[in-house]
Structure 1
Amino acid sequence: MKAVILCDGDIPQKRIIEREISGSDLFIAADGGAYHAQKLGLQPDVIIGDLDSYKVTGTETAEVIHDKDQETNDFEKALAHALNRSATEAVVFGATGKRLDHTLKNLSVLLQFDASFNSILLMDDYAVMKMIHSPFKESFEPGTILSLFPLSGKVEGITTKGLKYPLKNEDLENGVRDGSSNESIEKTVEIEFKKGDLLLLINH
């Protein structure tokens, strides 16, 4: 089961969001994301959050869930609801952009829920972001800009194939060395690593 979640950050063009909604089973607007949906003429199934941004009018056709918990943000609430509705995949828009602290928090939420879903994709105008697990293998058009980011601080023993700047049993660590702006040079990219939480950014 696939859920689409619309948060209150920067969102891509309507056609991209509509494409994902058309193949989904559940469309969730996370608090202020409901205003994005309204502006785009999209109808969510659920609006959820602490509702500090979205003001309920009483005319909503969507189910409105007011979750006052201040220990979780709206993205967490939306993912937890999707999980409770038996979603195994999630495509998320608006989780990045605007306030940097919100973006960083949402990347932390991505890591928190990664093990609970088969796939969580964060999409914006610049990239598709996802956690990857070793061994990883996927096809890309040669010339695709790929960035590897050690989300929890350090990823150890990384070996890659099909990238312009290969890694051979090497580490990436925040504040020491990162793997931004690499490039696929073959149709198939393979990545293995021994330990850590690795975020892949597939740049448009």
Structure 2
Amino acid sequence: MKNAFVCSQYPVTLVGGGEIGPQDLALALDHAPMLVAADGGAAHALRAGHVPAAVIGDFDSLRRADRDRMPPDRLFQVDEQDSTDFDKALGNIAAPLVLAVGFLGARLDHQLAAFSTLLRFADRPCVLIGPQEIVFHVPAALRVDLAAGDVVSLFPLAPVSGRSQGLEWPIDGLCLRPGGRIGTSNRATGPVQLLIEGAGLLAIVPRRALPAVTAALSAPARGPAAR
């Protein structure tokens, strides 16, 4: 992406200013060593002993003490109020994958806004890490090595359809849409393959599946496989 504040050929960890568990940041950094903060998320990073490679946001929640600890060339202020700090940060990171912590939990309105951001930037693979689950936008083609019995919830933010393999209740022939049929509480029977038509489908799977999801979203796009 041209003119991005952060460009990396490797996955990036993005930390927000919301609720964060004691192991969340370390877990994300194990898979994505470059650390970027969205505005007040810099406090979480600095408290854990990390100086982010960049801080992006409107800086309305970035404390002066934290700002003073950052090298000036790592501060990227975006002075507009029509988007969230998650929007501002994700929209300015060019990387194969972003693992985001500090965006789920606590306030429900912030979580809903984060889901909207996943749809807005559907072309940029990003995984939200929560206390029990992870959430990501499903690309047009996905194969992820889930374990039999894993809960797989598919939640549409827009009308979508598709085909699946490896789900106890296949989605073939269904139209998933807000206010209509949704796909929560499905289960994997083993590795799951999805072919999705249209943008707007979120997947919610157990947190322990993060390594498999990270590998799947980082893999080159594959051709059709589900039948």
State how 1:54-203 maps to structure 2 within 5 Å. 54-57=62-65, 59-62=68-71, 63-83=74-94, 87-115=95-123, 117=124, 119-152=125-158, 154-156=159-161, 158-185=162-189, 187-203=190-206
- Matched pairs, number: 195
Q: Which AA in structure 1 matches 2:183?
A: G
Q: What residue number does 2:215 align with?
A: none
Cα drift, residue 196 of structure 1: 4.3
Q: Percent identity?
A: 28
Q: What residue number does 2:221 align with?
A: none
Runs of 4+ off more than 6 Å: none
Identify unmatched segments of 5+ residues in structure 2.
Answer: 1-8, 208-227
CA distance in 2 between counterparts of 1:162 and 1:22 reads 28
Q: What residue number does 2:35 align with?
A: 27
Let me know the Cα RMSD of the aligned residues: 2.1
CA distance in 1 between counterparts of 2:79 and 2:176 reads 38
Aligned 8 A contact 2:104 2:130 in 1 = yes
Q: Deviations over 1:80-122 (max 9, x none)?
A: 3323xxx23211111222222222122111112221x3x2111
Residue range with higher mean Cα deviation, 128-137 or 90-99: 128-137
CA distance in 2 between counterparts of 1:138 and 1:24 reads 18
Q: Deviations over 1:4-23 (max 9, x none)?
A: 10012222333x42243245
Cα drift, residue 142 of structure 1: 0.8
